[in-house]
Structure 1
Amino acid sequence: MRIGIDVGGTNTDAVLMDGARVLATVKSVTTEDVTSGIVAALHDLRARSHLDPADVRAVMIGTTHFINALVEANRLAPTAALRLGLPATEALPPMVDWPRSLVDAVGGHRYLCHGGFEFDGHTIADLDEAEIRRAVRDMLDRGVRSVAISSVFSPVSAEHETRAAELVAAEAPHLAVSLSHEIGRLGLLQRENATIINAALREMAAQIVDGLAAAVWAAGIHAPLYLSQNDGTLMETEYARRYPVATFASGPTNSMRGAAFLSGLADCAVVDVGGTTTDVGVLQRGFPREAATEVVVAGVRTNFRMPDVVSIGLGGGSLVRELDSGGVAVGPDSVGYRLTRDALVFGGDTLTATDVAVAARVLDLGDRDRVRRLSRRFVADALDTIAAKITDVIDRMRTSPERPPVVVVGGAGVLVPDRLEGVETVHRAEHYAVANAIGAAIAQVGGEVDRIYPIEPGRRDAVLDAAKQEAVDRAVAAGADPDRVEIVDVDEVPIAYLPGNATRIRVKAVGDLLLTGPRAGNVAR
């Protein structure tokens, strides 16, 4: 048996699964500290299913802890950005395009040193070790506690980043170090930005992971604990301590994977309507389509693995207002996790989308008498506004004129009508309200390679095979069953402006989680 948990802005969902069977589901209110909400969800799941904790072989959690901390610029460690690229790259220093408030939150410590590579592995400049040691000593004087090291074209050669990390460890063993070649893709500024964000979250990551493990342990469950990643795969808690940015989009990704599982559709659009936002993405071969361009997170451009998702402020907790022009506005502001306190049907004084759904009799929740004053015309206009917003986002996500099938998931999925303009069909499978937790429970383990290769004549197949094998090896190293790993995506992009038949090759492999027993892997404790 597995337990899947997904923490959203409004609700924390949990499911108990035995293979492909859903045995029990729970939807509870997300708490301000998040962790106590997980404890409550596990308690309710045990009560509802008469679960024996000893039968649980793994717990998978998707959490909003880390993205919330970044957006709120809260609990970020004083962080230094150490770039290896001089005499190049000096014109655009680290954090050059960051919001001022976020620069201040991490301390804004920037260091440029000699080093880095060309795309073909030739050095821009030799590493100046004395220069790096001086920078580390200055970091210590300024109270830095975490370091982000980035080098030009480090995905091609990580030699300088690795050596710089050794020098930092020798001078200041207590500093947490993040290396850009382990986090982002090609593109120095975006990869460096992702690495700085990761470094700033490292301290908090250790505390959060310990808290999640303690929550699972308190429920009497001593099974391995995994966290969901942005690409729909899993990572062990030790990996989450090192790479907290890998969890940023786990919420919508879990919902999309759950939608594929519940509907049986591998290629479709997914509309996930939660309490605060609606996330719309596209499934390709059962996995979320990844963003092909940079992704902006909290005002910062990054390029690590993220699903191609558009989010709008529309959910069950969205505020509903009548406009002076006679129309109806829904969102983008929301009561969030205060829904059960503030919404009309729960005794509050705020009109929300949930109240509209209850008035329209598409949802039976709370006290319907409290929304009887809403006119039929107002309720219909509000639902039409919601449908129009969702239709617009689906249309923006399409890459072909074909009308896509749509799978609706999420606790507020009842707000989506059974027919949408420009859509082939609308699917709503059983347990769609907790698809996010199901997506976490069924998640697999992945490995990816993204690199520029100079391809000599007649060597293309050999280079591709080597990249595929490396992706498989990375998946197995992350915990995948070596007998059940497959290549799910291969992308080749020739780069005409670089010499030597340069080609960017990206390969992704996924496999089922290897569990040899109830205490295999990284046990929560």
Structure 2
Amino acid sequence: MRIGIDVGGTNTDAVLIDGGTVLAAVKSATTQDVTSGIVQVLRELGAQRRFDPAEVTAVMIGTTHFINAITEASRLAPTAAVRLGLPATAALPPFCDWPQRLVAAVDGKAYMCHGGHEFDGSVISTIDRNELRRAAEDMGERGVRSVAISSVFSPVNAGMEQEAAAIISEQLPDVHISLSHEIGRMGLLERENATIINACLRELAEQICDGLAAALTGEGFSATLYLSQNDGTLMDVEYARRYPVATFASGPTNSMRGAAFLSGLQSCAVVDVGGTTTDVGILNGGFPREATAEVSVGGVRTNFRMPDVLSVGIGGGSRVRGGDSGVTVGPDSVGYWLRDEALIFGGSTLTASDLAVAAGLAQIGDPSTVAGLDRSLVAEGLAHIVRETARVVDRMRTSAAPLPVVLVGGGSILLPDELPGVEEVHRPGQFAVANAIGAAIAQVGGEVDRIFSINPGQRDSVLDEAKDEAIRRATAAGANPGTVQVVDVEEVPIAYLPGNATRIRVRAVGDLTLDPARRARTPEPAGAARVGEGS
């Protein structure tokens, strides 16, 4: 048996799954400290369906801990950014495009040092070891506890970042170090930003991972703990400690994977309506379509792997207002205070959930509290929700071809079984906990993403090499070898690099093996593998 848990802004959902069968499913209000909410849903699962914690082989969690910390600009470690690029790149130093509140929250320190490569791999300047030692000494005096190292074109050659990390670690053995070639893609500022964000979360990642593990142990579980990644695969706790940014979009990703599992559709649009937002994404081959452009996190431009998701501030907890200009729904929400604030639960705030109950779309809370709502207000508010959702779905389309839509999330009770401009609308069973199901059925991935020099007539052999490497890495990360398959291959010729340079990205996934012996010798956690990342 497995347990899948997804922590949302309003609700924490959990499911107990045996094979492909959902044995129990619960939904509970997210708590302010999140971890106690996870303990609560574990207990509610046991109350709904008695089971022995020893029979649970794995617990998969999708968490909002880390993205919330960035959004709130809180619980972030004092962080230094070391850029290897002098005498180039001095015009735009680290943190130059960050909101000031985030710079203050991480007590950001920037160090410009010599190093880096040109796009063809040639050296801009060699590393000055003494310069880096002086920088490390200054970091120690300033109380820096985490360091982000980025080098110009490190996806082409990561050697200087690794050398700088060794020098700084020698001076400051207790600091956390994040390297940009392991996190971001091509594009210095965006890759550097992603690395700084990862670095400032490293301390929190250790605390959260320890807390989650302790919570499971306290409830009698000995199962292996996994966290959901942005790409729909799993990572183990050790990987989560090193790369907390990999969890940022786990919520929408889990919902999309759960929608594929519940509906049986591998290519569709998924509309996940939660308590705070409605997230719309596209499934291709059962996995979320990745964003190809930069992604803004807390007002900071980044370029690490994220699903292509478009969100609108409409959910079950959205505040509803009426006025001369019409009825508005959201974008602000009562969040996890829904059970205290909504009219149907005895509160004083008109929410989208109140509209759904008043219209007879849902049976939750006390319907008598909304029986007197103005019928035109109810109709206009629900029509607004339908229009906005259909508009977002249409924006996510890339062609005029029919695209079925799958509705999931507890808040999808706000939507009818038909949407304007959509030919097929599916609302599968267990739709309210699709996110937790997506976490429970998540697979293990391995990825190769690097620049190859392809000689004439060698394209097929290079592609085969990349595919074999991705499959090996998925297997090493804990996938059952008999289930691993290549799910995504991307080739992008790079005209400005010599030697027929081509960026090749290959992703392979497989079912998680729960063999303890295999996990013990796993050299890299799920989805971590990327050789000389070149995007």
- Using structure 1 for the length normalisation, give the TM-score: 0.97
Q: Which residue of 1 aligns with 2:87?
A: 87
Name the SS for the 1:480 alignment partner. Answer: coil
Which SS does the other structure have where 1:120 is aligned?
Answer: coil
| Aligned 8 A contact 1:55 1:518 in 2 | no
1: CA distance between counterparts of 2:448 and 2:183?
A: 12
Residue aligning to 1:170: 170
**How many angstroms does 1:27 deviate by?**
0.4
Q: CA deviation at 1:84?
A: 1.0
- Matched with 2:156 is 156
CA contact (8 A) 2:478 2:519 kept: no
Name the CA distance, whole Å, in 2 between partners of 1:194 and 1:88: 21
Tell me the secondary structure at the aligned position of residue 193 of structure 2: helix
Kept in 2, the 8 Å contact 1:146–1:175? The answer is yes
Distance 1:113 1:478 in 2: 35
The aligned residue for residue 272 of structure 1 is 272
Q: Which range is displaced more, 505-514 or 356-365? A: 505-514
What residue identity is the alignment partner of 2:381?
A
Unaligned runs of 5+ in 1: none
| Cα displacement (A) at 1:478 | 2.0
Q: Does 1:515 align with 2:514?
A: yes
The C-alpha deviation readout for 1:385-426, integer Å capped at 9, x for no partner, is 000010010011000012310000001111111111111211
Q: Which whole-Å CA distance do the structure 2 matches of 1:366 and 1:55 have between them?
A: 35
Residue 225 of structure 1 pairs with residue 225 of structure 2: yes
* Alpha-carbon distance in structure 2 between the residues aligned to 1:376 and 1:447: 53
Structure 1 residue 96 displacement after superposition: 1.2
Deviation of the 1:117 alpha carbon: 1.8
The answer to whether the Cα contact below 8 Å between 1:86 and 1:125 also exists between their aligned partners in 2 is: yes
Match of 2:419 in 1: 420
Equivalent in the alignment of 1:44: 44
2:511 maps to amino acid: D
The corresponding residue for 1:348 is 347
- 1:116 maps to 116
Work out the CA distance in 2 between the residues paired with 1:372 and 1:152: 63
Deviation larger for 460-469 or 438-447: 460-469
Deviation, 1:216, is: 1.3
Deviates more, 1:356-365 or 1:91-100: 91-100
Q: How far did 1:34 drift?
A: 0.3
Preserved contact between residue 198 and residue 245 of structure 1 (Cα < 8 Å): yes
**Does the 8 A contact of 2:478 with 2:518 survive in 1?**
no
| Partner in structure 2 of residue 288 of structure 1 | 288
**C-alpha distance in 2, partners of 1:349/1:519?**
55
- Name the CA distance, whole Å, in 1 between partners of 2:267 and 2:139: 49
**Percent identity over paired residues:** 69
For 1:342 and 1:521, how far apart are their aligned partners in 2? 48
Aligned-pair distance for 1:496? 2.2
**Contact persistence 1:515–1:521 (CA under 8 A):** no
Counterpart for residue 105 of structure 2: 105
Q: What's the CA shift string for 1:255-287, capped at 9, x where partnerless? A: 000000000000000000000111000000000
Map 1:353-372 → 2, pairs under 5 A: 353-372=352-371
Which residue number in structure 2 is paired with residue 208 of structure 1? 208
Match of 1:142 in 2: 142
Q: 1:293 to 1:268 in 2, by over 3 A?
A: same
Determine the structure 1 residue equivalent to 2:528.
none
Provide the rounded CA distance (Å) in 2 between the counterparts of 1:323 and 1:473: 60
Per-residue Cα deviation, 1:179-224 (whole angstroms, up to 9, x for no partner): 1111111111111110000000000100001111111112211100
Q: Tell me the equivalent position of 1:496.
A: 495
Q: Where does residue 376 of structure 1 map in the other structure? A: 375
Residues 294 and 303, structure 1, Cα contact 8 Å, conserved in 2: yes
2:531 matched residue in structure 1: none
Q: Distance in 1 between matches of 2:446 and 2:196?
A: 23
Query: Which region of structure 1 is more displaced relative to structure 2, 50-59 or 109-118?
Result: 109-118
Give the CA deviation at 1:519. Answer: 11
Structure 1 residue 485: Cα displacement: 1.4
Name the aligned partner's letter for residue 114 of structure 1: H
| Alignment-derived partner of residue 251 in structure 2 | 251
CA deviations 1:292-326 (Å, max 9, x no partner) are 1111111111111100001111000000111213x
Residue number in structure 2 paired with 1:68: 68
Structure 1 residues 279-288 or 510-519, which shifts more? 510-519
Q: Secondary structure at the match of 1:496?
A: coil
Q: Do structure 1's residue 5 and structure 2's residue 5 form an aligned pair?
A: yes
Deviation at 1:452, TM superposition (A): 2.2
Cα offset for 1:520? Answer: 5.9
In the TM superposition, what is the alpha-carbon distance from 1:377 to its structure 2 partner? Answer: 1.7
* Distance in 2 separating the partners of 1:481 and 1:18: 18
Q: Say if 2:276 and 2:316, in contact at 8 Å, map to a contact too.
A: yes
CA RMSD in angstroms, aligned pairs only? 1.4
Pairwise CA distance, 1:483: 2.7
The whole-number CA distance in structure 2 between the counterparts of 1:518 and 1:439 is 26
Matched, 1:187 2:183: no
The whole-number CA distance in structure 1 between the counterparts of 2:92 and 2:213 is 41
Alignment of 1:21 with 2:21, yes or no, is yes
Q: Report what 1:453 is aligned to.
A: 452
Indicate if the aligned counterparts of 1:185 and 1:450 stay in contact, CA closer than 8 A: no
Contact 1:256 1:288 in 2 (8 A): yes
State how far apart, in whole Å, the 1-side matches of 2:503 and 2:323 are. Answer: 51
How far, CA to CA, are the matches of 2:391 and 2:204 in structure 1? 38
Per mean C-alpha deviation after superposition, the further-off stretch among 308-317 and 480-489 is 480-489
| AA at the equivalent of 1:162 | Q
Asked if structure 2 preserves the Cα contact closer than 8 Å seen for 1:119 and 1:452, the reply is: no
CA distance in 2, matches of 1:33, 1:313: 23
SS of 2:480's partner is strand
Structure 2 residue 332 is matched with structure 1 residue 330: no
Q: Secondary structure at the match of 2:14?
A: strand
Superposition deviation, residue 517 in structure 1: 5.4
Paired AA for residue 317 in structure 1? G
- Which whole-Å CA distance do the structure 1 matches of 2:153 and 2:132 have between them? 19
Query: Structure 1 residues 138 and 310 mapped into 2: Cα distance closer, same or farther (>3 Å)?
Result: same
- The answer to which of 453-462 and 186-195 deviates more is 453-462
Q: Secondary structure at the match of 1:356?
A: helix
CA distance in 2, matches of 1:501, 1:477: 31
Give the Cα–Cα distance (whole angstroms) in 1 for the partners of residues 291 and 332 of structure 2: 26
Q: For each residue in 1:129-149, what CA deviation from the matched residue of structure 2 results, as whole angstroms up to 9, or x when unmatched?
A: 111111111111111000001
* 1:373 to partner: Cα distance: 1.2
Say if 1:2 and 1:59, in contact at 8 Å, map to a contact too. Answer: yes
The worse-fitting range, judged by mean Cα deviation, of 151-160 and 21-30 is: 151-160
The more displaced of 507-516 and 392-401 is 507-516
Does the 8 Å CA contact 2:13/2:28 hold for their aligned counterparts? yes
One-letter amino acid matched to 1:420? L
1:97, 1:232 → 2: CA distance? 30
CA shift at 1:516, angstroms?
1.5
**TM-aligned CA deviation for residue 521 of structure 1:** 5.8
Q: CA deviation at 1:95?
A: 1.4
Structure 2 stretches lacking a partner, 5+ long: 522-535
Compared CA separation, residues 515 and 521, structure 1 to 2 (3 A) = farther
Does structure 2 retain, via aligned residues, the 8 Å contact 1:57–1:517? no
State how many pairs are aligned: 521
User: For residues 478 and 139 of structure 1, what CA distance do their matches in structure 2 show?
Assistant: 35
Q: CA deviation at 1:518?
A: 11
Cα distance in 1 for residues equivalent to 2:451 and 2:248: 26
User: Is 1:309 paired with 2:324?
Assistant: no
State how far apart, in whole Å, the 2-side matches of 1:244 and 1:134 are.
Answer: 29
Distance across 1 between alignment mates of 2:86 and 2:460: 36
Deviation string, structure 1 residues 63-109 (Cα, Å, up to 9, x no partner): 00000000110010000001111122111111111111111111120
- CA distance in 2 between counterparts of 1:349 and 1:437 reads 30
Match of 2:524 in 1: none
